[in-house]
Structure formats: C-alpha cells, structure tokens
Chains A and B, each alone.
Chain A
Amino acid sequence: AQSVTQLDSQVPVFEEAPVELRCNYSSSVSVYLFWYVQYPNQGLQLLLKYLSGSTLVKGINGFEAEFNKSQTSFHLRKPSVHISDTAEYFCAVSENKAGGTSYGKLTFGQGTILTVHP
C-alpha cells in the first residue's frame, strides 16, 4: 500500500514570491506521481504528472515539480506566484504495476492550502 504526506497544511506567501509545496510518499513498488489543484467549489484539476524519464516535470500555470527517488519526494515549485494561484493543492500517487485491483487508483495527500497575499 502507498501513502502520501504533505508536510504543510497551509502556506501563506506574498504575490511574486517563490513557493514550494512539499510532498513525500511511501510505497513498496514504483509509483507515478501527480499534483492536482482545487479552486473553491470546483473539481480537482491536474497540474502535472511524473511517469518516467526526466525527474523535473513542468506543468500548467508555471508550476514544476522534481521527483527525488532517494528522498521519496515530489515537491511542487513556482518561481513567482500570483493572487490567482490561491487554492488547495493535492499530491497523489498511483502504483506503477500492471494488473491488480489498485490499477489506476490514486492515493492523495491531505492537501496544502496556498494563500497568496497582495
């Protein structure tokens, strides 16, 4: 079974400042990694995903994340945030293993609320 820990429940930052949202995972098998964003009263939207290859993944809205296998981390970063980035961010994993009932199942962290202040 896998688990995800988002190390910060809330992150306040000022507009145009850089931000990092931290995510650590635990799994007995290889995993795929995802970051989703949830704006108020909306569904989750995929920001980016790591499947294989380059450990630095670029996503939408200027976000990027780096997969670190040795530290089992997948931290999300943005060099300069905007007011519109205020939302809740979820890190998620799924097993990189063919077959089985957990195929495609996402396990989410508890979320990090990012608040961007003017």
Chain B
Amino acid sequence: EAGVVQSPRYKIIEKKQPVAFWCNPISGHNTLYWYRQNLGQGPELLIRYENEEAVDDSQLPKDRFSAERLKGVDSTLKIQPAELGDSAVYLCASSLGGRTDTQYFGPGTRLTVL
C-alpha cells in the first residue's frame, strides 16, 4: 500500500513569490493534517481536515496561507506571498480518523525562501 505522497520534495523561491504544496493521503483516510517543521523543532499543526471540512485551522496564518481539500482526498497548501520566515519543511499526514488513530506522515516538502 502506498504511503502519503507529497510533491514537490524541495522548493526554492524568492520572497514575495507564491508557492504550493500537494498531498495525496493514504487511500481511505478521511483525516488529513498539514504540519510545519522549523529547523531543529518538532512539527506544529497548521490545519486538520475531516473529509472536505477544515475542522481546526487555528494555527494557520490566514493572511498568507490557504489550504483546500477538494473531494475529500488530495489537498493543496498555498503560501502567497512567501516570507523568509516561511522556510521550513511542510509535512502532510493522514489517518482513518478518531483521536487515537495513528497519523501517517509523508516525506515532506522542504521550502527555502531566499
């Protein structure tokens, strides 16, 4: 069974440019998460989806970040415009659902903003 797929794996952009990350969760997983991992830190949740609904986006900087999960499967996270401080690894995870369910993580997208 395929794991969580993310693309691109690496992205280098200049500040003020837009950027988008794509995530394909494990088949049948209703819950999808986006995390940001700064260098030397643990991941921090940005947004959680239950099917198509964003049920927790309290940590998403809404002035420049947006996310969508059309049809309750794939998801896209966008930053516009990017700032230097957005340099980080963006991780996508999925789970079947339920608060005890294991979250399976993708390999992440490493973003560098110059």
Seen from chain A, the residues whose Cβ lies within 8 Å of a Cβ on chain B are 4, 32, 36, 41-46, 49, 51, 90, 92, 94-96, 98, 101-111
Asked if residues B43 and A102 are in contact (CB atoms below 8 Å), the reply is no
- Chosen A-B contacts, 19 in total, with CB atoms closer than 8 Å, are A4-B42, A32-B99, A36-B105, A43-B106, A43-B107, A44-B93, A92-B42, A101-B58, A102-B56, A103-B56, A104-B48, A104-B95, A104-B97, A104-B98, A104-B101, A105-B45, A105-B48, A106-B43, A111-B42
Query: Which residues of chain B in 71-114 are interfacial with respect to chain A, using CB atoms and an 8 Å cutoff?
Result: 91, 93, 95, 97-108
Report if B20 contacts A (CB, 8 A).
Answer: no
Q: Smallest Cβ distance from A7 to chain B, in angstroms?
A: 14
> Number of contacting residues on B, CB 8 A?
28
Known contacts A45-B105, A108-B43, A110-B42; is A103 also within 8 Å of B99 by CB? yes
Asked if residues A90 and B55 are in contact (CB atoms below 8 Å), the reply is no
Known contacts A43-B91, A101-B55; is A94 also within 8 Å of B99 by CB? yes
Cα A81 to Cα B100 in complex, Å, equals: 29
Known contacts A92-B42, A104-B48; is A32 also within 8 Å of B105 by CB? no
* Cβ-closest chain A residue relative to B38: A110
Add 13 more A-B contacts to A32-B100, A44-B43, A111-B42 (CB < 8 A): A32-B99, A43-B107, A44-B105, A46-B104, A49-B102, A90-B42, A90-B43, A92-B42, A98-B99, A102-B56, A104-B48, A104-B103, A105-B48
